[in-house]
Amino acid sequence: MSQAEVQYRIHNGNAWLTLNNECARNALSPEMLRELDARLDQAAADPDARSVVLTGAGEAAFSAGADIAYLSAAAPAEVRAYARTAVALTEKIEAMDKIVVAAINGHALGGGLEIAEACTFRIAVQGARLGHPEVRIGAVAGFGGTSRLPRLVGRTRATELLLTGDTITAEEALTMGLIHRAVSADMLHSACEELLTRVHAGAPHALRLTRDALQRGMELPLDAALRLGANHFGLAAGAADFREGTAAFLAKRPPQWAQSQTAHDPAPEKGIAS
């Protein structure tokens, strides 16, 4: 295609990445997955981007999911490689130092929802439908849905959604905890940026450590997760942000965070995850 598969722009300090194949409801072709991977790398390295917002072109769909035309002609080994590429992409989203928000501007189905499930936050427009209809075409939620969905909404809800292939409204997704907000279409961009503004009122280093403790702690027994949280509290205390934050609290003034310090602060033993 002559046009970019994924558009990139900076707005209010955030990198907006737009899946850009509206005619195909932003279906995730192999080319789009590769370009999204490159755009995520671009956002990660961009000093003007404090966070990333991922959305879709048009109003109909965030992404309708995997490229069915591609799948129908692909050999099983090619499908497996395609899914592994998508899984690596979702892992990259989770592992980014920068917070990633899914601005779900329309339907998010199958692989499209799996991309959103890997994001730090999910905000959807009212009336959007979300779901995993893979079983209805003889497929499996192979981009991470069988693992992430139960972690987000619980095994009971996930079992029903994955095995029936039913879709749900944004309002239902909000009730079950799959998304964080359901807003009108004209408020989607501002809702994403307002949330990020509130998040970034916190100390950058503390945000990184908190996200890591949250993500890794979900995979650990409770006693190990508690020790991880205590360890990260100690790591936070060694950062300049901790001294500034506590001093500002005692002085009853707004803190002034050292935005550039995160590259030099102590990091968790096994890296930072989203």
Separation of alpha carbons 108 and 27, rounded Å = 10
How many beta carbons lie within 10 A of that of residue 47, not counting itself? 7
Beta-bridge partners for 16? 9, 53
How many beta carbons lie within 10 A of that of residue 263, not counting itself? 7
Which of 12, 88, 89, 103 is closest to 54 using CA atoms? Answer: 103
Which of 140, 54, 135 is closest to 90 using CA atoms? Answer: 54
Q: Which of 35, 114, 117, 193 is the catalytic position? A: 114
Locate 268 and state its tokens: 């968790």
Instruction: Provide φ and ψ at 180, rounded to 5°.
Output: -95, -30
Which of 29, 25, 113, 101 is closest to 61 using CA atoms? Answer: 25
Q: Which of 35, 94, 134, 193 is the catalytic position? A: 134
Classify strands 100-104 and 14-19 as parallel, antiparallel or unpaired: unpaired
Q: How far is CA 245 from CA 119, 176, 191, 260, in A?
A: 27, 35, 27, 16
Active site residue 160: no
Active site residue 35: no
How many beta carbons lie within 10 A of that of residue 164, not counting itself? 13
Separation of alpha carbons 44 and 89, rounded Å = 13
Calculated CA dihedral for residues 31, 36, 37, 41, nearest 10 degrees: 140
Known catalytic residues are 114, 134
